[in-house]
Structure 1
Amino acid sequence: MGRDGTDNGASFRTLPKAEVHVHLEGCFRPDTLENWAKQAGVPMPRPREQLFAFNSLADMLEFLDWACGLASTRERLAEMAYGFCQHLAADGTGYADLIINPTHWAAWRGRTRELIDALDAGFTAAAQDGLPPVGLCISLLRTQTAAESVELVEDLITWRHPRVVALSVDGNEATAGRTGPRFAEAYRRAADAGLRRTVHAGESSGPEGVRDAVELLGAERIDHGVRAIEDEGVVALLAERGIPLGVCPTSNLTLNLYPSIEAHPIEQLRKAGVKVSVNTDDPSLLLTNLPSEYELAATAFGWSDETLRDIARTSIDASFANADVKAHLKSALARWQS
């Protein structure tokens, strides 16, 4: 739903597509949180209708700590995973790479494998019911140490959990400073072990963060990446290497990176030869969905059906879905008519 409560982007639901930049922490449903809070006997921070009405970044972060703290049982995590797949189906999304940062989930600290297993149970049940498949991108927090990053990667390599498709890193680059060198060894080990790699960069950092993600971390995909537009050399690097960006228009506007969708660089990047996809980032918190994100950009930049197909194809190609899922989505995309 859009910010005004209307069902935006309905015509884009039929577009076969994947989502490659979405955080589980940004997908809580108000009714679910209300039920969990009642069961736990803890107060809601505000009424359900205004649960996502944040007055500051600090307010939002405090809320996330509260919400993640409620997901304290295997059953609740499985419920959340199943609900995420229902959300994908409602958006007409055929697959998602879902980012989760274990540091946010206090009840599961030191139990990352159990956290993954609990989510996997929900995703497996959803797939058995015909809902879209999901891969997990396990994310480092940008303020973690080099040793902590290596420890997580070694765990992921040891576990070889089939639900885990990639290593990620997220968090505020503006406050953490340059972190590419700190995580280079962890990303090198991930690459050597065949684990896919995606990196948040070029949002709270400038184009130098994107260059570090490519040259120091070997990123196969950049989450955000839009500030690459500030450096022609970085734009050329992305285009030459075919490294796709997982762009989230509403998120960028909400955080005041750009004053309007017309000022957003997604179209400039696309025309410069950079592969771009459209994503939601934190759909519940931002009161958006994937069809609405497509509609926002398509309306602003006059995207034709051919352009929409190219962007949807990028979302599929850029995903870490298996070959069968990609082939199915591409076949459906070839038949799509708006």
Structure 2
Amino acid sequence: MVDYIGLPKAEVHIHVEGCFEADDVIRNCGEAGIPLRAPRDRLFEAHDLKSFLEMLDWLCGTFRTREQLATTAYKFAQRMGRSGVRYADVIVNPTHWPHWHGNIPGMIDAFDAGFAAAEQDGHPPVGLCVSLLRTQSAAEAIELVELLSEIRHPRVVALSIDGNEAAAGRTGPRFAEAFRRAAAAGLRRTVHAGESSGPEGVRDAIELLGADRIDHGVRAIEEPDLVDLLARRQIPLGICPISNVALGVYPSLVEHPIDALRKAGVPVSINTDDPTLLDTTLEASYAACAEAFAWDSETIRQLAATSVRASYADPAVKAQILADLDAWQT
């Protein structure tokens, strides 16, 4: 029996908006007099990517105080620790949080307080990837990058972009300048692509946005030359197989291309995307994939190593996790 919780690993594609606990959301609603969007057992219900993003907007709208954000950050780190994660890069998209639109620095500070308190209590360190939404304008994107460059908060490790690719259309050209400025400011760049768009989204992420990690990226499998490019440049994909099946990108896990991409030499890692909303955990995702693709313990070790190398953790943190991984026994 493989101990997936004990496996030293990183989580590099996960959204703080997808990790809320129902009790916290209900408490927020009670404090602010907000009617619940649905009964408790259907609070996190969504049927497709569009309704999923609408649900996120509503959930985030219930978080109105610094304490609520700090508590959410602390509980996120706790969640990572329970899954055996040693480091996490977490995505936060300010556009989902209406009460923080005019105070992004305060929002970052509140999350930072929760993450710092959690780390002091022995929970894993967390880096924050601040995300654009695909429907934003080029000017709005540049404004966010300029803000991040100005405050230079040590918790912020990367610029991200997420949202519904299919609904927004091609967005690489629109955000190229913002990502160029992010690179100049020393921010890493991670891009959602190749989920609701095809391989062209992945190519734009590489060629126009200079992505050093791609979130999802799975539909690159449809273009062999693109797979070769990813393998040649060793651009890692932060893949979320359970999410891809739940949201209809692939009909089943056995039809998911993560193993084909891995065998083609593309660096792939297993992640959860929105674990609470999808009712999964990282260890469950590893176990489901291992069963679907008959992975042995050495393959699992390699996947965990990729997650660590693809993360934006400090080099010393990476080195320690990889050393522990070398010593890991199933």
Interval of TM-score (by shorter of Structure 1 and Structure 2): over 0.9
Contact in 1 for aligned 2:48/2:247 (Cα 8 Å): no
Q: Which moved more, 1:176-185 or 1:37-46?
A: 37-46
Distance in 2, matches of 1:252 and 1:116, equals 29
Contact 2:50–2:164, Cα closer than 8 Å, also in 1: no
CA contact (8 A) 1:10 1:291 kept: no
Q: Which runs of 5+ in 1 are unaligned?
A: 1-8
* TM-score between both structures, scaled by the size of structure 1: 0.95
Question: Which one-letter code corresponds to 1:218 in the other structure?
Answer: G
Task: Read off the aligned partner of 1:213 and give its amino acid letter.
Answer: A
SS in 2 for 1:227: helix
> Which residue matches 1:275?
267
Query: How far apart, CA to CA, are the structure 2 residues paired with 1:160 and 1:45?
Result: 37
Correspondences of 1:19-58 after superposition (within 5 Å) = 19-58=11-50
Task: Give the superposition deviation at 1:40.
Answer: 1.8
Amino acid at match of 2:272: T
Instruction: Report 1:58-69 matches (<5 A).
Output: 58-69=50-61
Which of the numbers 168, 176, 180 marks the counterpart of 1:176?
A: 168
**CA separation of 1:174/1:273 partners in 2, compared to 1, >3 Å: closer, same or farther?**
same
Residue 59 of structure 1 and its aligned partner are, at CA, apart by 4.1
1:99 aligns to 2:87 (yes or no): no
Question: Aligned residue for 2:137?
Answer: 145
Distance across 2 between alignment mates of 1:254 and 1:25: 17
Task: Give 1:56 shift.
Answer: 5.0
Identity %: 62
SS in 2 for 1:12: coil
Letter in 1 for 2:162: D
Partners of 1:227 and 1:237 lie apart in 2 by: 14
Aligned residue number for residue 322 of structure 1:
314
Residue identity opposite 2:281 in structure 1: N
Query: Aligned with 1:11: secondary structure?
Result: coil
Partner deviation per Cα, 1:36-71 (whole Å, 9 max, x = no partner): 222222222223233223345554333322211111
**Is the 2:34–2:62 Cα contact (8 Å) retained in structure 1?**
no
Runs of 4+ aligned structure 1 residues displaced above 6 Å come to none
Q: How does 1:1-338 map to 2 (within 5 A)?
A: 11-338=3-330
Shift in alpha-carbon separation, 1:21–1:161, aligned structure 2, 3 A: same
Contact preservation (8 Å) 2:49, 2:164? no
Count of residues in Structure 1 that have an aligned counterpart in Structure 2 = 330
Question: TM-score, structure 2 length as denominator?
Answer: 0.97
Q: 1:220 to 1:57 in 2, by over 3 A?
A: closer
Q: Which runs of 5+ in 2 are unaligned?
A: none
Which secondary structure does the structure 1 equivalent of 2:248 belong to?
coil
Whether the 8 Å contact between 1:224 and 1:246 is mirrored in structure 2 is yes
Task: Supply the distance in 2 between the matched residues of 1:143 and 1:118 (Cα, whole angstroms).
Answer: 26
Contact 2:231 2:267 in 1 (8 A): yes
State how far apart, in whole Å, the 2-side matches of 1:110 and 1:140 are: 15
For the residue of structure 2 that corresponds to 1:213, the secondary structure is helix
8 A Cα contact 2:49 2:247, kept in partner: no
| C-alpha RMSD of the superposition | 1.3
| Structure 1 contact 17–315 (Cα < 8 Å) conserved | yes
Report SS of the residue matched to 1:70.
Answer: coil
Deviation per CA, 1:174-227, whole angstroms, max 9, x where unpaired?
Answer: 111111111111111111221101000000111111011001111000000000
Q: 1:217 is paired with a residue of what secondary structure?
A: coil
User: 2:244 is matched by which residue type in structure 1?
Assistant: N
Q: Assess if the C-alpha contact under 8 Å between 2:244 and 2:250 holds in 1.
A: yes
